[in-house]
């Protein structure tokens, strides 16, 4: 059914594309929100990604690879939105915190530490973390989506995870020293 929608949309069927987009928009929005950490930026990125998807669909070679192809478009759109907003608002900006939909981590301290650590990552590193840990793509597939060598994806993932670990451990050190002072 979904592949049929992709085929029809590829041939220029706007109604089919509408149905296809309706099935994808929640997932795309969640990914963009996680990467960009900003609601407005995420919405703009998803909107732009869907327009690019429509325009470029006739060039999609294999309808079965639609998911990875769409992720790649979304990641480029998120990077573009992030870069555009940075250019307009200055290199340093205060990105407002968005309330989480739920506290699945169950650990408020960890959540804040991860948030802080994640914000220090580049948009490319964030994309790898989200595609691997949230979407569930193996790292070689993440590499294919982002158009980078698998080795690069692995090293960037390692860097990102090290940065997040460092953020958590730094917070733990502050907490330990606080306990010691007390």
Partner 1 sequence: MTERPDLDRLVTDWLRAGAPARAPLGLLTAALADVARVGQERPLFGRRFDEWIGRSPRLHWAIVGAVLAATLLGVIAGVGALVREPPILLPAGSNGWLSYSQHSGVLGDDTRNGEMDLYLVRGATAPLKVAGVGGDGGPGWVRAVCPAFSPDGTRLAFAESRDAGQVVNNAYVWATQAVVVLTLDAVGRIADPTVRIPVPATDADPCPAWSPDGVSLAVAAGAPAHLMIARLDDPATILPLEAANGLEVAKVAYSPKGDTIAAAGHLGLWLVPIDGSRPRRVLDSDSRGEIAWSPDGSRIAAVVGPSIQILHLDGTIDDLGSGFDPTWSPDGSRIAFQRLGSGTSSDIVVANPDGFAPHVIALASLPSLGAGAIYASSGIVWSPDGNQLVFGSSQGLISVSASADPAPRVLVAASETYAGIGGTGFSWQRISR
What is the contact surface with partner 1 in residues (CB under 8 A)?
12, 14, 17-18, 21-22, 25-26, 28-31, 33-34, 39, 43, 46-47, 50-51, 54-59, 61-62, 100-106, 110-111, 114, 129-130, 133-134, 161, 164-165, 168-169, 172-173, 175-176
Residue 29 CB, nearest distance to partner 1 (Å)?
4
Residue 84 CB, nearest distance to partner 1 (Å)?
16
DSSP-derived letter for residue 97 is P
Residue 14 CB, nearest distance to partner 1 (Å)?
7
Which residue lies nearer to partner 1 by CB, 91 or 180?
Answer: 180
The per-residue DSSP string of 112-168 comes to HHHHHHHHTS-HHHHHHHIIIIII---HHHHHHHHTS-HHHHHHHHHHHHHHHHHHH
Contact present, 95 and 119 (Cβ < 8 Å): yes
Which residue lies nearer to partner 1 by CB, 90 or 147?
Answer: 147
Which residue lies nearer to partner 1 by CB, 91 or 108?
Answer: 108
Nearest CA among 41, 3, 42, 43 for reference residue 23: 3
Work out the end-to-end distance of the chain between its first and last CA atoms, rounded to an integer number of angstroms. 63
Which residue lies nearer to partner 1 by CB, 2 or 55?
Answer: 55
Q: How many other C-beta atoms can be found within 10 angstroms of the C-beta atom of residue 101? A: 8
Residue 47 CB, nearest distance to partner 1 (Å)?
4
Which residue lies nearer to partner 1 by CB, 51 or 89?
Answer: 51
Residue 67 CB, nearest distance to partner 1 (Å)?
17
> Is 95 buried (19+), middle (13-18) or exposed (0-12) by CB count in 10 A?
middle
């Amino acid at each position: 059914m979904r592949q049929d929608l992709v085929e029809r949309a590829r041939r220029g069927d706007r109604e089919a594309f509408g149905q296809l987009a309706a099935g994808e928009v929640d997932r795309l929005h969640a990914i963009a929100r996680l990467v960009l950490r900003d609601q407005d930026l995420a919405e703009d990125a998803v909107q732009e990604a869907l327009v690019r998807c429509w325009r470029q669909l006739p060039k999609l070679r294999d309808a079965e690879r639609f998911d990875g192809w769409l992720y790649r478009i979304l990641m480029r759109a998120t990077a573009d939105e992030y870069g555009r907003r940075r250019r307009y608002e200055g290199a340093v900006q205060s990105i407002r915190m968005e309330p989480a939909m739920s506290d699945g981590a169950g650990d408020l301290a960890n959540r804040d530490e991860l948030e802080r650590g994640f914000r220090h990552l580049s948009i490319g590193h964030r994309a790898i973390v989200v595609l691997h840990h949230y979407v569930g793509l193996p790292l070689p597939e993440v590499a294919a989506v982002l158009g980078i060598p698998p080795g690069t994806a692995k090293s960037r993932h390692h860097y990102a995870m090290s940065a997040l670990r460092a953020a958590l451990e730094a917070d733990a050190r502050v907490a330990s020293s606080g306990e010691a002072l007390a």
